[in-house]
Structure 1
Amino acid sequence: MSGKLGQDHPQLIPPAFNFSETQADLKAWDDLRPRLARLQRLMDRADDTMIAIGSDLMTASLEGYALLKVVGKDQGLKSLRRDLSSRFRKNGSVVAESDEPVEA
């Protein structure tokens, strides 16, 4: 109910209706709304940052894994490469040394 209407026509407000509490709630709502909007913008920026960092990490991980596949063959890192291959699945199955899908 509009504050102006309630103030100008108090006879329209039933006795059980707490008009002053409703006005206080409306003021709190109006005071809180811009703060929540700023918080939402901050959360959106934080989410964007997390997505960008995750993308950078995934790119670095894929590059490192590809490098390990090439360089690690002669360095005795076959077991490490095999262990890491389970992190890079294709169609839900583990990628084996020969790059053929293997049942997990």
Structure 2
Amino acid sequence: MPINRVNAEISPSQAEAIRAALAALRENLPFLIDLTPDERQGMLKFGEKNRSFVAKAMAVAEQNPDILPRGFNVDEMKADVRLVEDLYPLLHSVQEVLGKLENTYFAAGSEAYAAALLVYQYAKAANVATGALEDALDDLGRRFARRSKSAGSAGNGGVSAV
């Protein structure tokens, strides 16, 4: 049997507490938005290097308001910069939890899949003697069924010529 990296369970009360914590997070961040992939692609990229650039540009704008056109809204820029700075530590905390959540999910899933493959092998071996597991093996075997390349091809409706 492979290495068991994860041996845990989530109780119903823990699951409820987690859902409540996530709901509180959403409730306390009501301004969060969704962006489509196209919207994100059309926006300027923002990362750690740009964060520093933005902070420096904010200082220049505050110290030299006379260089900016009349329509430039320094207060709106300040609000955006302040929000970025407020979200930054929250984002890193959530990313850390999300990374561990994804890794744990992956490891537990990998362990469960490895065990399932062993069950499948043992069931095939046991079925040779008794034949009692035929239906279960057919159901499990669907996971490994390959689709024929001609079945999805257009023009012949998936029927091969004889």
TM over 0.5: yes
Partner residue of 1:43? 98
Partner residue of 1:5? 60
Q: How far is the alpha carbon of 1:84 from its aligned partner?
A: 2.3
Tell me the number of residue pairs that the alignment of Structure 1 and Structure 2 aligns: 91
> In the aligned structure 2, how far is the partner of 1:60 from the partner of 1:84?
13
The Cα offsets for residues 33-59 of structure 1, whole Å up to 9 and x where unpaired, read as 121122112111111111111111111
Residues 46-61 of structure 1: pairs in structure 2 closer than 5 A = 46-61=101-116
- Aligned-pair Cα RMSD in Å: 2.1
From the superposition, tell whether residues 87 and 7 of structure 1 become closer, same or farther in structure 2 (CA, over 3 Å).
closer
Residues 26-41 of structure 1: pairs in structure 2 closer than 5 A = 26-41=81-96
Q: Is 2:136 aligned against 1:74?
A: no
What 5-or-longer segments of structure 1 have no aligned partner?
94-104
Q: How far is the alpha carbon of 1:75 from its aligned partner?
A: 5.9
> In the aligned structure 1, how far is the partner of 2:134 from the partner of 2:58?
75
Q: How far is the alpha carbon of 1:17 from its aligned partner?
A: 0.7
From the superposition, tell whether residues 78 and 20 of structure 1 become closer, same or farther in structure 2 (CA, over 3 Å).
closer
Q: How far is the alpha carbon of 1:26 from its aligned partner?
A: 0.6
Match of 2:75 among 2, 5, 20: 20
From the superposition, tell whether residues 74 and 22 of structure 1 become closer, same or farther in structure 2 (CA, over 3 Å).
same
What 5-or-longer segments of structure 2 have no aligned partner?
1-53, 148-162
Percent identity over the alignment?
27
Q: How far is the alpha carbon of 1:30 from its aligned partner?
A: 1.1
Partner amino acid for 1:46?
A: L
Higher Cα radius of gyration: 1
Partners of 2:62 and 2:74 within 8 A in 1: no
Partner amino acid for 1:7?
A: E
Which secondary structure does the structure 1 equivalent of 2:85 belong to? helix
Which secondary structure does the structure 2 equivalent of 1:87 belong to? helix
> In the aligned structure 1, how far is the partner of 2:71 from the partner of 2:61?
14
Partner residue of 2:119? 64
Which secondary structure does the structure 1 equivalent of 2:69 belong to? coil
